[in-house]
Amino acid sequence: MRAGGQGEEGWRPDSAGIVAAARQVPSPNFDERPGGSLVELIVVHNISLPPGVFGGTGIIELFTNRLDPAEHPYYREIEGLRVSSHFLIRRDGEPIQFVACGKRAWHAGQSQWRDRSRCNDFSIGIELEGADDAPFEDAQYLQLANLVRSLGQAYPIADCVGHSDIATPAGRKTDPGPYFDWPRFRSLLKNSA
């Protein structure tokens, strides 16, 4: 499956870190990576706004600082939150890019991987529209495999982990959750290479 009719080349980030196969919705929530930082890690998350509701505009509004706190009671709890991710993969498989891969998105928070803290410095964050208590869609697994494979060809990626694997203190985050099928994802990644 290819988004927007893009071939394999459409998934490779260009020199600015933009993936042509993804719809571009720029987020203001990013900054420069520290000098010398290489992109070595991919972090998989899940998100739905309001929680457990799919298909709305809440995620895009959150990542672009346009979330209306009067629209839902939960939005009042996260009012003023400034977060982003490099990518979102919607339930239908649509990929959206918020931050160029060469920039630091604000997705991992307090985190540690292989004795290195501040994972935002050297990672790419990919959000899947979903929740801890719901299975992900076939299209999401396919698009995630396409994206991760292409990122691995463009950057020295050493690992792909869940947010729960790097969040500190341990147990602070649970995503992508128990319904994310890691063996299925890794099989797609391997078999489509």
The CA distance from 182 to 162, in Å, is: 9
d(CA 140, CA 134): 13
The span from the CA of 145 to the CA of 139, in Å, is 10
As a whole number of angstroms, the distance between CA 105 and CA 31 comes to: 7
Concerning whether 127 is annotated as a catalytic residue, the answer is yes
Closest CA to 176 of 187, 166, 163: 163
CA triple 5-58-165, angle to 5 deg: 80
**What tokens does 137 get?**
């869609």
Which residues lie across from 98 on neighbouring strands?
A: none
Q: Which entry of 40, 127, 129, 137 is annotated as an active-site residue?
A: 127
In whole angstroms, what is the distance from residue 95 CA to residue 97 CA?
A: 7
Contact between residue 101 and residue 56 where contact means Cβ atoms under 8 Å apart:
no
Closest of 7, 12, 43, 41 to residue 153, by C-alpha: 12
Q: Which residues are marked as active site?
A: 127
